[in-house]
Structure 1
Amino acid sequence: MNKKGIKISIIGAGFVGATTAYALMMEGLASEIVIVDINKDKAQGEAMDLAHGVSFVKPVDILSGEYKDTLDSDIVIISAGAGPKPGESRLDLIGKNTKIFKGIIPEVVKYSPNSILLVVSNPVDILTYITYKLSGFPKERVIGSGTVLDTSRFRYLLSEHFKIDVRNVHTYILGEHGDSEIAAWSLTNIAGISVDDYCRDVCKKCSGDFKRKIPEKVKNAAYEVLNRKGFTSYAVALAVRRIVEAIIRNEDSILTVSTLLKGQFGIEDVYMGVPTVIGETGVKSILEVKLNDEEYKNLQDSAKVLKENLNQIQL
């Protein structure tokens, strides 16, 4: 990391990019934040608005600029691109955002060849793979936000159901950040008690379709927010902040970021959300957690969905 302090650049000053800048600023994770957007006025306006509040947080320089101003960034967060419209899935965005990324990634790499790239734009797994290919970076330094947010949504909904602190709910959403994602019920526990035992012995209110309804709510959560306010911003920005924090503080935290699988879970050459140890060098290792047979098959099916879409892209 940068010896003079942490420099983070954000490509894309939309709802997600701007809210991410705010979350990073509030947490005091960077000494310099640079915001770049094709709409220079928007980027400048966001940077000014944030900068006007720096007296209330830890010292940080916040500015807007061009790609050259991202020089020597430690982390580059990419949130640029078209967002989903009501009725569109994340995978519907592939063509539009692939074209946009072909313009972004070479510029980012030119000015910050030693950075860690964190992709947030959707479809995040496919765009992270595209970023990996276009950048030429080692796979450890190209990460997607993956199912970090989905996992948080899952934990939240379970905590609401069980009326228990969300921090005592331990579980994962794995696979695509999208419609083929899977809930890892076999790994789910409440303070070390398996979810099945907790339902039977403590909750006693889990209906027969409990394990179907909650993952469906997780899967549709973004669409529900999108239909009501037109975009998502707060929770995804907090998820990105959490990933950045794990990198900067070299936490060796386990997060379900989108990372490149090379044979793990029987999956080859696909980026998707799996439990991953994250630290200052990016991806340190992938945890090949033990899934039951159905989950294992569903994870492989999720990878096939991503592969089929990747095969349609010309890089």
Structure 2
Amino acid sequence: MEMTLGNKVVLIGTGAVGSSYAFALMNQGISSELVLIDLNEGKTKGDVMDLDHGVVYAPSPMSITFGSYEDCKDAAIVVICAGAAQKPGETRLDLVHKNVKIFEAIVGQVMDSGFNGIFLVATNPVDILAYATWKYSGLPKERVIGSGTVLDSARFRSLLGQEFNTAPTSVHAYIIGEHGDSQLPVWSSANISSIPIAPKLTDERKAEIAMQVRDAAYKIIEAKGATYYGIAMGLAKITKAILQDHQITLPVGSLLEGEYGHHDVYIGVPTVLNRTGAKTVLELSLNEQEKAQFDGSVKTLKEIQAQIWT
């Protein structure tokens, strides 16, 4: 059966992240049809009304409705933001057992509808849940994508832009690995308009910036309970890249099948995105320290996987 085309998006989970993503999608005119699904029907119908009023000033027309899993049948992309929320002091990996069970039910209902599009997973721990979605859906790996380190890389670029008084869009730098505590900055290839960044910073300053990136979520959660604007913009960027066949590279959660010397793990790595999903995983030239850190990140995720899938 041919993969579903078009630009219909179904969003499952309309909490802070999901509703922020819906707003970003509408505000940028990325999709012409958006369906919202959530157990909290009253709140979600309120979101539909609120968003629908904003369509008047959106760049293009958009149908926004409250729906059910049956609406996934002809969706181009199903975005999953549902799941138990991360609590203050709780790591993303602490969430794993709760959310894997939730995902087994969600993915099963989506696939029962006849869905044949692309999954985009945002719920934490996102690397494990992208892997769970791939396992439970039976879809090709190219059509299950995690948000990966798209937000971490944005935080990294933002901090480096501030450090060098340069627009973050001119900073080319990646955070790769787990979307969590074992992530790593790839200093060896970080640059501003091809000028290497690493030689301009002390080891101490690089360590400080890496720590700021890693701990950003904890600080935001402590301050206001959750992070949602940054990841919503990242999800919108991924969605746009897929639906509009951009062929651009973003650090998303992709399944490794030999790349970086690893197999059978979803992890944040630069990946070319097009209308078929995750087209190609790009292998960065890592130095020895970065390779060791990346191997450690893979090990962290595989140890969690081993507790669930034997």
TM-score by length of structure 2 reads 0.96
1:39 deviates by 1.2
Residue of 98, 101, 105 corresponding to 2:100: 98
Pairing of 1:168-183 with structure 2 (within 5 A): 168-183=170-185
Consecutive aligned runs of 4 or more in structure 1 exceeding 6 Å deviation: none
Matched, 1:238 2:239: no
CA contact (8 A) 2:188 2:198 kept: no
1:159 deviates by 0.6
Correspondence for 2:186:
184
Which residue identity does 1:133 align to in structure 2?
A: K
CA contact (8 A) 1:149 1:239 kept: yes
Matched, 1:33 2:43: no
1:78 deviates by 0.2
Correspondence for 1:299:
294
Work out the CA distance in 2 between the residues paired with 1:24 and 1:157: 25
Correspondence for 1:56:
57
Q: Deviations over 1:186-217 (max 9, x none)?
A: 010111111134x1xxxxxx444011000100
Q: 1:276 to 1:310 in 2, by over 3 A?
A: same
CA contact (8 A) 2:149 2:178 kept: yes
CA contact (8 A) 2:73 2:116 kept: no
1:113 deviates by 2.5
User: 52-61 or 141-150, which moves further after superposition?
Assistant: 52-61
Work out the CA distance in 2 between the residues paired with 1:250 and 1:288: 21
Residue of 256, 274, 278 corresponding to 1:279: 274
CA contact (8 A) 2:4 2:116 kept: no
Structure 1: 5+ residue runs without aligned partners? 200-205
User: 162-171 or 238-247, which moves further after superposition?
Assistant: 162-171
The RMSD of aligned alpha carbons is 1.3
Work out the CA distance in 2 between the residues paired with 1:152 and 1:232: 13
Correspondence for 1:255:
250
Residue of 88, 95, 104 corresponding to 1:86: 88
SS in 1 for 2:308: coil
CA contact (8 A) 1:44 1:65 kept: no
Work out the CA distance in 2 between the residues paired with 1:115 and 1:2: 5
1:48 deviates by 1.3
Which residue identity does 1:235 align to in structure 2?
A: G
Work out the CA distance in 1 between the residues paired with 2:76 and 2:151: 23
1:131 deviates by 0.3
SS in 2 for 1:146: coil
Structure 2: 5+ residue runs without aligned partners? none
1:304 deviates by 0.5
Q: Deviations over 1:243-301 (max 9, x none)?
A: 00110111111001000001111111000001100000001111111110110111011
User: 46-55 or 130-139, which moves further after superposition?
Assistant: 46-55
Q: Deviations over 1:91-146 (max 9, x none)?
A: 00001101110110011122253110000000000000000000000000000000
Aligned residues: 307
Q: Deviations over 1:225-246 (max 9, x none)?
A: 1000101111100000000011
Which residue identity does 1:27 align to in structure 2?
A: Q
Matched, 1:127 2:129: yes
CA contact (8 A) 1:73 1:112 kept: no
Residue of 106, 113, 116 corresponding to 2:115: 113
Q: Deviations over 1:11-56 (max 9, x none)?
A: 0010000110000001111111000001111211111111122211
Correspondence for 1:70:
72
Correspondence for 2:15:
14
CA contact (8 A) 1:74 1:112 kept: no
Work out the CA distance in 1 between the residues paired with 2:113 and 2:129: 20
Work out the CA distance in 1 between the residues paired with 2:203 and 2:308: 41
